[in-house]
Chains A and B, each alone.
Chain A
Amino acid sequence: MSASTSLPEPGRAAIRNHTKHGRRFSSWQTWLLVAILVIGGLGMLYPFAWLILSAFKTSNDIVRIPPRLLPEPWTLEAFQAVLTHQIGGARLTRAYVNSIVVTVLTVAAVLFTSTLGGYAFARLKFPGREFLFYFVLSTTMVPFLTLLIPLYVIMDRLQLLNTLAGLIVPAIFSSFGIFLCRQFVYGIPVELYDAAKIDGAGDFTIYSHIIVGLMKPVISVLAIFTFRATFNAYLWPLVVIADARNYTLPLALRGMSNTFGAHEYSKLMASSALTLIPPLIVFFIFQRNLVRGIALTGIKG
């Protein structure tokens, strides 16, 4: 299908023209701008430096007054300690596995239901289509806190309290994802769908062979957002999970902060640093596609 190369016209033009504003700037103005942005960027990174470097400090070094950014001496003892430390009979590695399982399954589910939903709402005919779509969209107006207590009761009835499934099931469909994908599918020429239909392809074949392939930009945007929301989730896991063996990373970190005193802060920073590894990997893989993806998805109106 040559279609995959002919897709993103408006967005692509925007990316080609990235430098348009720049042409009116003389070079010293550009350099000044870069300098200001770099200084601001260092300001953004400064707290990170504390997080990472504090993880390599000894328990005496971390409470030194006045504090020093660089460890003296460097040590891995905080990392060793948190990897063997147990919170309520479970290790940090257990929370690591739990977090990754929950996140991978949730992201997979959301990507499937959202791309299929975007396709269904934009191209397929079924009774109540418009009503259902605007209903789904309107659910984002209701604060999660309003649903929290009743959802807790429902999870209790479904026997999903204190299980990882209890974290995944309520997140299978995403209103935001369905909205994002529907907007995107509207941008895919209808002729493509009609042509495949005439060739005798079924609705699902068209979805799996044509539509999904064209949705790559929006898929990467949605994947990052869903990854972040799931991996970082705190409130819902806090309510659902009671047993430390089913803790996800944010809960395990909270458990640690409750047991560690100030001179053990290097341990908290070490476990925080370990927690950041999966998001950092995902971030560096997908960040490049993020601006481009958002330009193509049409969020910006």
Chain B
Amino acid sequence: MADTAHATDGCVTLYRLPARLARSWLSRYSWLGMGYAFALTVFYLLMFVVPFGTAIWLSFHNWDYIQTPVFVGARNFAKLVDDPGFWGALWVTVRFSVVEIIVAISLALLLALALSHLRPVLQYILLAVYNLPVIMPGVVSVFLWRWLYRPNGGAINTILESLGLPSQPFLHSGDQALWSITAMVVWIFLGNSSIVLLAAINEVPDSLLEAAQLDGANAWQRFRSVTMPLIQPALAYQVVTSIIGTMQLFEPFQLMPGPGHSTRTLSLYTYQLGFEVLNLGYGAAVSIAMFIVLLSATLFELQRRRKSWEY
């Protein structure tokens, strides 16, 4: 109202100009949008920017949570390069992530392909069964599998024995512990990983598959040349979220560890440095290294995928 009054009297006093400009600038925007953006910005400043900045800052300091942090330059990173604990944890993390992702996504893809041949009702029922483990809190899965993996009297060794196979130490062996955990994690996430793939496979147009069949393509060729290229985006999504998920997985490594450092991942190592050894500066440096590893792995994967699906 005030605006139109001013506009008609034609003589805008100079000191009001900034306010008018601001108002016309604002009127292009939605108040709700700006209010939301404000709340969002405050939240991410407090819960992301400040913590992330602090982590970087902290990685150049030594701090035990009690005394004032002492600036040490890049010494934490120099220490990291010479720290067998860090390289060991990185190696465990990489082996676990790579094997888990390859096994879980291959199985999930097989599962999704098999399910796509069935009627919707059967798809839903079977998917519900395969998806059941993922609803369990990680802590429950760990307690359950720790019990199943027991060397004496565990359910899995009982099965092995009844098949005439030797029983295995599983979590008590430095060689087997990591793969025992990997098997459990595959069991947990298998159904979940296949949901996105199934949704993508269900959307592959019928006409393309039929055309390929008329051209004499067998099932494998139809999969390679029709289905596979069309589900690339879903596959890429699944691989990237799996990289992020497996790199950060924590519960199994803390609650069902193998002997020594055989299952100590970067996430567990960071946690131990921060909350058990109270070496917060070095812990921050390790966590920054973890961030760099995760970022490079993700970018590498996206780059690789982009090439393959543009092709």
Contacts and interface: CB of A to CB of B under 8 A. Distances in A.
Contacts of B116: 18, 21
B158 interface: yes
A232 B138 contact: yes
Contacts, number: 292
Contacts of B295: 141
B136 interface: yes
Contacts of B247: 143
A201 to B, nearest CB: 12
A21 B153 contact: no
Contact of A44 (B130, B209, B291): B130
Interface string B173-191: 0000000000000010011
A41 B126 contact: yes
A124 B32 contact: yes
A96 interface: no
Given A47-B144, A146-B291, A231-B137, A301 B130 contact: no
Contact of A148 (B43, B126, B138, B271): B271
Interface string B198-235: 11111100100100010000000000000000011110
A195 interface: no
A188 interface: no
Nearest to A46: B155
B80 interface: no
A295 B203 contact: yes
Contact of A150 (B34, B55, B206): B55
Contacts of B187: 44, 47
B154 interface: yes
Nearest to A227: B135
Main secondary structure on A side of the interface with B = helix
Contacts of B128: 283-284, 287
B134 to A, nearest CB: 7
A127 to B, nearest CB: 7
A126 B234 CA distance: 31
A286 B182 CA distance: 28
A269 B144 contact: yes
Contacts of B111: 37, 40
A126 B298 contact: no
B46 to A, nearest CB: 7
B294 interface: yes
Contacts of A146: 51-52, 55, 270, 284, 287-288, 290-291
B10 to A, nearest CB: 30
B132 A150 contact: no
B133 A44 contact: yes
Given A67-B155, A207-B32, A228 B134 contact: yes
Interface in B106-160: 111, 114-120, 122-124, 126-140, 143-145, 147-148, 152-155, 158
Contacts of A202: 32
A143 B202 contact: no
Contacts of B16: none
Contacts of A67: 153-155, 158
A36 B255 CA distance: 33
A3 interface: no
Interface stretch (B1-9, B23-31, B95-103): B23-31
A147 B52 contact: yes
Contacts of B71: none
A69 B28 CA distance: 68
29 contacts: A14-B199, A17-B202, A18-B202, A30-B117, A41-B130, A45-B132, A47-B144, A47-B145, A65-B153, A66-B161, A67-B155, A117-B40, A125-B33, A126-B37, A132-B40, A145-B287, A146-B55, A149-B54, A149-B284, A173-B47, A204-B32, A234-B138, A235-B251, A287-B128, A295-B199, A299-B237, A300-B233, A301-B234, A301-B237
Interface of B: 28-34, 36-37, 40-41, 43-44, 46-48, 50-52, 54-55, 58, 111, 114-120, 122-124, 126-140, 143-145, 147-148, 152-155, 158, 161, 187, 190-191, 195-203, 206, 209, 213, 231-234, 236-237, 244, 247-248, 250-251, 255, 266-267, 270-271, 274-275, 280, 283-284, 287-288, 290-291, 294-295, 298
